[in-house]
Chain A
Amino acid sequence: MFTLLQVELYKIFKRPRTYIAFIAIAGLIGIIQLGLKLDGDAYINFVMSNAEQSFTFDGKLLNGYLVCYIILQLLLVHVPLLIALIAADMISGEANMGTLRLMLTQPVSRFEIMMVKFTAAAIYTLLLLVWMAVLALFVSMGLFGTDDLIIQKTRYLVQLSNDDVFWRYIGAFGFALLAMLTVAALGFLLSVFAENSIGPIVATISIIIFFTILSTMSIPIFQKIQPYLFTTHMVAWKEFFDLKVNADNTALKGTLQNKSQIIQSAWILVAHIVLFVGVAMFVFKRKDILT
């Protein structure tokens, strides 16, 4: 199984297409960081203009933690598109190339092939998020320094002290990994049904876009189905950046305002991953290879 995984990773990382996502993320993060470095204060003044009428801020508002938060908010919506490029190609790409039949005539079971292919897609997803974390968090910390993180929520401001932020990012990236694995699992499932890569890639992206729109629209009829859409739960990483306050409104460091929401969303995403991968295996085990 380990050899099979090695072979699968070798195939993934020998393909030029694999690096598109890494280059895209580096480019996008670089542009955001450059923009904020050059004109970040004006941006912050604009964003916080309402809050500054009621509060006085002391310290460095535009710091590495805030830059990372801005990047995550902007990018995590689009990363699924990059994940789909690889995950939705895992089986369909091999079918399209004609290598699937050669692969299946080797002394490895279909179950092993599927397990290894999903594991390889998961490793790719993990590496992409690690890459994103390095660039968005660590490089931003290096470029902008660190200070308290102040986030404007819909109805209130959250201030997280400098020493209470880093672990939240670890949690947020961990949760984002789960969310992206759900996307990978969806792409993986769709790739089983197709014999070319374009179909499942476009289908995965379309489903994500469609569900994301449904998840964010405040129309009552859509709100009823929102809890059942995995895209609703994919944004629960933001819950890591909110904390409890006591009766006199003092922030309680190291706490999560909505821990149960994070846990519930995580389980729902895990259930989706298991369901998508399980169905993919069930279908693939019985599939006639005609390509």
Chain B
Amino acid sequence: MEPIIQVQNLSKQFGNIAAVNNLSFEVPTGAIYGFLGQNGAGKSTTIRMLLSLITPTDGNIRIFGMPLQQHRKEIFKNVGAIIERPDLYGYLSAYDNLKMFAKLNGMQPTHQQLMNQLDQVGLADRAKNKVKTFSQGMKQRLGIGIALIHNPSLIILDEPTNGLDPQGIADIRRLIIQLSKEQQKTVLLSSHLLNEIEQMATHILIIDKGKKIIADSAKALFNPAETMVEMATTDNITALAILKNSKWQSAIQLNRGPNIFLKMHYNQIPAFNSDLFHLNIQLVMLQPRHSLEDYFLQVTANSPSDTLILNH
């Protein structure tokens, strides 16, 4: 099946700063695609380019197989989105906000349709209240209601749980999984909350400083058969050269950072360790990576991680 989003060599330059740098990835149809990165990694810029809020400096975006620039209007009929916090018209009621955006999507919604949508996001009893009286969590839920009102097949959510309490976060998580499993919708979900992505995503893209670090299925990233092993030696360049001429050649993962990374089954690690001794490689560190948190820390090791939420 053709990927629902195809991004090729996407770049965005703000003056001298490369917010996004030659980024390529594909979002498979039906996936919950977790888009991870620290604050300032380029997630929001990428998402804004996907929603044509920002013009790329370079690169191509295709959504539903169509180039975004030429088919923006057609594409957006089938896309629902929230970018960071959903700021709405505070002087209008939740019902009026929803109705207005439904109309902008070419709908003539019935009262029942609008109430059902508000009910889905838990705001039916506040339908007639002005949005300015809502908490951030309620606004977030209404934003999701607006993003879903026209029943889009692609949903793009940038930090959708920002400002929500634990119950709100759990509700949104449940809704996203339900949308994917029961309604076969594709969800592109950005977050700096690792735990949130880990619990939902079927595929993961990690970016750092505007560059892709890795894009793979969650299954592959967490599968014991594809455990990522990080090693450091006294001389990484020589060690890498030796490994390239060994039976572990196919396991080597290039361009992952200063250390050497190999992908192998978890059970193969003792044998690999033994081989390193026979190959005369002076080992300093050998570390299998399992959780997304470990993985994230490892691949963004050279970046300050003060903005990253590690704890669950």
Contacts and interface: CB of A to CB of B under 8 A. Distances in A.
Given A14-B92, A97-B89, A101-B83, A106 B104 contact: yes
Contacts, number: 74
| Max chain A C-beta neighbours (<10 A), residue from B72, B90, B96, B104 | B104
Contact of B48 (A3, A286, A289): A289
A288 B53 contact: yes
Contact of B100 (A7, A15, A16, A97): A7
A11 B93 CA distance: 12
Given A7-B103, A289-B48, A106 B76 contact: yes
B52 A104 contact: yes
A142 interface: no
B70 to A, nearest CB: 12
Interface in B62-120: 72-77, 79, 81, 83, 85-92, 96, 100-101, 103-106
A93 to B, nearest CB: 10
B104 A3 contact: yes
| Max chain A C-beta neighbours (<10 A), residue from B86, B89, B92 | B89
B237 interface: no
B92 A98 contact: no
A58 B92 CA distance: 57
B105 A101 contact: no
Contacts of B279: none
A3 B53 contact: no
A104 B146 contact: no
A109 B54 contact: no
B305 interface: no
A75 interface: no
A16 B76 contact: no
A108 B74 CA distance: 9
Contacts of B51: 101, 104-105
Nearest to A287: B55
Given A6-B103, A107-B105, A108-B73, A102 B87 contact: yes
A236 B171 CA distance: 63
A271 to B, nearest CB: 30
Nearest to B78: A107
Interface string A1-41: 00110110011001110000000000000000000000000
A119 interface: no
Given A11-B89, A14-B92, A289 B54 contact: yes
Contacts of B72: 109
Interface string A253-291: 000000000000000000000000000000000101110
Interface residues of B, number: 32
A216 interface: no
Contacts of B55: 286, 288
Interface string A133-163: 0000000000000000000000000000000
Contact of A107 (B73, B83, B146): B73
Given A97-B90, A289-B53, A102 B101 contact: yes
A290 B103 contact: no
A97 B88 CA distance: 7
B89 A106 contact: no
A103 B48 CA distance: 13
Contacts of B76: 105-107
Given A107-B73, A109-B72, A97 B87 contact: yes
B100 A102 contact: no
A99 interface: yes
Contacts of B105: 106-107
Interface string A105-124: 11111000000000000000
A3 B106 CA distance: 8
Contacts of B89: 11, 14, 97, 99
A107 B66 CA distance: 15
A97 B91 CA distance: 11
Contacts of A102: 83, 86-88, 101, 143, 146
Given A101-B53, A109-B73, A16 B91 contact: yes
B100 A10 contact: yes
B88 A290 contact: no
A287 to B, nearest CB: 9
A11 B103 CA distance: 13
Nearest to B83: A101
A102 B89 CA distance: 11
B173 to A, nearest CB: 22
Interface string B133-145: 0000000000100
A107 B81 CA distance: 12
Nearest to B76: A107
Contact of B54 (A16, A107, A288): A288
25 contacts: A3-B104, A3-B106, A4-B104, A7-B103, A11-B89, A14-B89, A14-B92, A97-B89, A101-B51, A101-B53, A101-B83, A102-B101, A102-B146, A104-B52, A104-B53, A105-B51, A107-B75, A107-B76, A107-B104, A107-B105, A108-B73, A108-B104, A288-B55, A289-B48, A289-B53
Given A105-B51, A105-B53, A107-B74, 16 more contacts: A3-B103, A14-B91, A14-B92, A14-B96, A16-B91, A99-B87, A101-B53, A102-B88, A106-B76, A106-B101, A106-B105, A107-B76, A107-B105, A107-B106, A288-B54, A290-B54
Interface of A: 3-4, 6-7, 10-11, 14-16, 97-99, 101-109, 286, 288-290
Interface pairs A-B: 8 shortest CB-CB? A98-B87, A289-B53, A107-B76, A106-B104, A107-B77, A288-B54, A105-B81, A105-B51
